[in-house]
Every structure is written in structure tokens, then in C-alpha cells.
Amino acid sequence: MLTRKEIYWFYGLSALFLIIELFFIYNEIYPALALPLVLLFLFLAFYRLDIFYLSIVFLTPLSVPLQNFYPQLSFNLSIPSEPLLILLLFILLYWFAIKNPPDKVFLFHPLTIAIIIYLAWMLVSAVTSTIPLVSLKFFLSHVWFIAGAYFFAYEIFKHQKNIPRFLWLYMIPLTLVILYTFYNQIQTGLVNQKAAHSAMKPFYNDHTAYGAILSMFIPVLGGMFFIKKDIRLSPNLVNFFLFLLFLTALVFSYCRAAWLSLVLATGVFVLVKLRVRFITIALFAIILAGMGISYRTMVLQKLERNKQESSTSFARHISSIANIQTDASNMERINRWKCALRMFAEKPVMGWGPGTYMFQYAPFQNSKDRTIISTDFGDMGNAHSEYLGPLAESGLPGMLSVLGVFIVAFITGLRVYANAREKWVSTLSLSLLTGLTTYLIHGFMNNFLDTDKAAIPFWGFLALLVVLDIRYTSPIQIPQHPE
């Protein structure tokens, strides 16, 4: 029961808040109308961090670039997800330092160590960067992504009920984006490939980022269909419908890299199900790479004879994947990759600095490699590779640190699948591993880990694998938390 004094305070503060909001409306300061939401998130940040984090996950697919509202700005943030992640980073620093330090078994997990090495070298190469301010911002953005999506997510996933919540709270708003995209595509015709490239804007910057995320979650939806209990939050019929919806959306995204990554990841899924050893898969990949290098001249000659360009015909669109002669998208990727290699040759150890590729690559273009979409102004993206981008920006140690994270993550997923004590754990781990594999393959052709859209699910999947590894397969157990 509230006292009379408390009632007066409540009505007094409510009236003051209403007056302030009316003042903002009268003066047409419309962004201030978000003040109630800001206060709500501040309350959650200090009293319900789990809901605060899961809210960020839900808002990520629906977040839009700040420059959409203020195009004159020289910087960009994804609103509201990135400001909330920045706030979470500061809270996390206090929480870990004062209240609840991370479990040692987590801090010394091989994947956590690999991630710390990755961030440490990024910081070192940022210090020696050719454009320090750009590199510092790039480094800090990765810190707030990884702090929230990996380090804090681990704490959240200790509670088993939060595992399906995380997955569904990303997939539900992604479903809304899919329906929005379909609506835009239907206006111009579903087979209009050109319109499909921007139908998902402003939520995803283009069809490649959209396709990459769809291909990550399709294996998860497929795997959850076979989980009968423990982390199920939806009936099989809903799960099956969403699986078909995501698959259809991927087809009509016209993202060839996403198509290819899902097909190849399915092949990896089959190899894992057949219990083929990791060393066998790795040796096979090395042999294929060696053959590709040995017969590169023959392969390039064959590819150059393919003149099929991107098309609304699915068969022709698939055929155009191998066209490096006339397809502008493919040719520009090769141009960017060559620039990255030339940049690496000039600065092989420290690189040019994290995030600086787009500002530095122009002089490294050869006239014969330039395409109709080439640019000298740093306004058309980056190296289009999660591997060659770090090679140019952070040198050989930078690329090796990225590979270290990817390889350790893959091995962790295999270990959880092989040693899981419960059926749902092995099914979920293999689904996550297959989803991650789609991104690792897609990473040869595009890179999105500097965006919240890809960072939240990617680092979240890694945190999930670590929790499953520690809690359900390792001899050292983290304490059981009440559900």
C-alpha cells in the first residue's frame, strides 16, 4: 500500500514528465518522444539485465542506420541496437569487475582465449594504423559486439530457458523483415532480381547481408524441428512453416553466395553425421586447395569462358557464380581481393589498420581489374572477405587470429556434438555448427561481422557452443541455475 507522500510523488513526477513531452511535441523535437523507451531500457539495464540483453537481440533485425534519419552525419550507428550494446558494455565492465567476475572455466576455454587474442591483435594493429581514429572506432565496435553477444551471452545462457529465447527473439523479428521484404518484392514482381537487392532496406543494407543471416538460421530451424523437449518453444507445425518461409526467402534473396554456403554447409553436415573425423575433412580441404593452386591456370581459363551474367532465371543465376569474365559483381570481388593481397604485400605484419581497407585500397587497383562498379571514394564497401580483409588491415597475424577463432569454434562444435550427454544438446550443437559453417563459407565472398545484424547471431552461436561444451560435455561443470 502506497503512502500519501508516495502517491503525491508519483502523480507529481507523472505530471512533470507529461509537461516535458508536450514541450518537445510543441517544439517539434520528435526524437525526444523516445524518452519513455529510454527510461524503460535504463530500468532494465540496472534491474533485469537478462531482459535487457534479450531485448537487444529482438531489436537487432529491426534496427536501422542512424544516417537514414540524419544523412549529414559523418558516422553511423544501428539504432537502437548499437547504443544499447554500448550501454551494456559499460554495465558489463562494472558487473564483471565488482559484482560477478566470469567463471574461470569460461575465461580459459580455448574459444574465449582465441577471441581475446583476436581482439588483442586488432588493438595492436589499431595503434599502428594508417588512420588511427577509424581503426579505434572499428576496434571499439567489435568490443561492444563481442562483449554483449559472447561474454554476457554466456552468463545469460547458463539458464537453459534463455537458449531458445535467444534463438526465437532473433528469428521472430527476422520473420517480420522477411514479410516486409516479400511485400516490397511483390510490388515489383518476385522474379525482379534488381529490386530484390534492396527490398529488405532499411533493415538490412543489401541482399547479401540478408541472405547470409537467413542461411545461418535455416539449419537452426531444421534442427529445432527434431528437438522434442527441453528447449522447444513452438509446435512442429509452426517450426516447419518458418523453415519453409526462411528457405523461400533465401531463394528470392538472389544471393548466390548464401545459396552456395547453405549447399556446402549441408555437405559438411552430412560428413559430421557420418562421423568423418575432423582431420580427414581438413586433409581433404588441403588437398582440394593444393589441386586448385596447381591447376589454377586451367581453372581460370575455364571460368573466363563462362559469360553468363546474373539473371532472373535461377538456373542462369546459379551458372553466373563461376563467371569472372563479364559478371560485374564477381569481377569487382576479384578486384577487391587482389587489392587486399597487394596491400598485404606492402604491410605484411601490422597491416594498414582495422577498418581502413575501404579508404586505402583505391591506389592498389590495376586498370585491367577495374569494373563498371569500381570506385576511388571509399563508398562502396570493403574487401568482401572475412579472411582477406583482416590480412590487409591487420597483417598475417590478424588473418591467423581470425582463422584461430573460426577453427576453434568448429572444433568446439564437433566436440559438443560427439560428447553430448543429452540428445537435444547434440541436435542443437550440430544445427549451430551447420549455421556457423554457412557463415564461414560465405565469409570467403563477403564480410558482415562489423555489423550488429551478423555479430549478434555469430558471437551468440559461439557463446551457445561454449555453454553446451562446459555444461554438458566437460568434466568441470558450471553451477546449475534455477530455471
322 Cβ contact list (under 8 Å, min separation 6): 303, 306
Helix 132-146, helix 81-94: angle, nearest 10: 70
* Residue 16, pLDDT score: 59
Q: Is the dihedral of CA 100, 104, 107, 111 positive or negative?
A: negative
DSSP helix/strand/coil, 65: strand
Q: Are 212 and 454 in contact (CB under 8 A)?
A: yes
Residue 64 burial (10 A CB sphere; 0-12, 13-18, 19+): middle
Closest CA to 340 of 292, 407, 411, 395: 395
* Residue 28, pLDDT score: 54
Closest CA to 192 of 248, 254, 256: 254
* Residue 463, pLDDT score: 97
* Residue 354, pLDDT score: 95
What CA dihedral angle connects 470, 473, 475 and 481, to 10 degrees?
50
Q: Are 218 and 169 in contact (CB under 8 A)?
A: no
* Residue 172, pLDDT score: 93
**pLDDT tens-digit series, residues 405-463:** 999 999 999 999 989 888 889 999 999 999 999 999 999 888 899 899 999 999 999 99
**pLDDT tens-digit series, residues 315-341:** 454 444 444 454 566 788 888 888 999
**CA–CA distance, 66 with 73 (Å, rounded to integer):** 8
**CA–CA distance, 227 with 427 (Å, rounded to integer):** 7
Q: For the whole model, what pTM was predicted?
A: 0.84
215 Cβ contact list (under 8 Å, min separation 6): 250, 258, 259, 261, 262, 265, 435, 438, 439, 442
**CA–CA distance, 361 with 392 (Å, rounded to integer):** 9
458: Cα separation from own chain's centroid: 5
**Residues linked to residue 65 through DSSP beta bridges, in sequence order:** 78
* Residue 475, pLDDT score: 57
Detail the DSSP E strand segments found in 61-101.
Answer: 64-65, 78-79
What residue type is assigned to position 443 of the chain? G
Q: For residue 156, how many other CB atoms are within 10 A of its CB?
A: 20
**CA–CA distance, 456 with 140 (Å, rounded to integer):** 15
* Residue 32, pLDDT score: 54
Closest CA to 175 of 247, 110, 79: 247
Q: Are 369 and 361 in contact (CB under 8 A)?
A: no
Measuring CA to CA, how many Å separate 420 from each of 162, 426, 427?
19, 5, 9
* Residue 479, pLDDT score: 47
17 Cβ contact list (under 8 Å, min separation 6): none
Residue 247 burial (10 A CB sphere; 0-12, 13-18, 19+): middle
**CA–CA distance, 3 with 247 (Å, rounded to integer):** 57
Q: How big is the CA angle at 196 (ends 193 and 202), to the nearest 5 degrees? A: 160
pLDDT (tens, 9 = 90+) of the chain, 483 residues, equals: 446 665 555 556 556 555 665 555 555 554 555 556 666 666 666 767 888 899 899 999 999 888 777 777 767 788 888 988 998 898 888 877 777 778 889 999 999 999 999 999 999 999 999 999 999 999 999 999 999 999 999 989 988 889 999 999 999 999 999 999 999 888 877 666 777 788 888 899 888 999 999 999 999 999 888 876 656 556 677 888 999 999 999 999 888 889 999 999 998 899 888 887 777 767 766 776 666 555 544 544 454 454 545 545 544 544 444 444 545 667 888 888 889 999 999 999 999 999 999 888 888 888 777 777 666 665 566 888 899 999 999 999 999 999 999 999 999 999 999 898 888 899 999 999 999 999 999 998 888 998 999 999 999 999 999 999 998 885 544 444 444
Q: Are 144 and 78 in contact (CB under 8 A)?
A: no
Q: What share of the chain is helix, strand, coil (3-state, %, to 5)?
A: 70, 0, 30
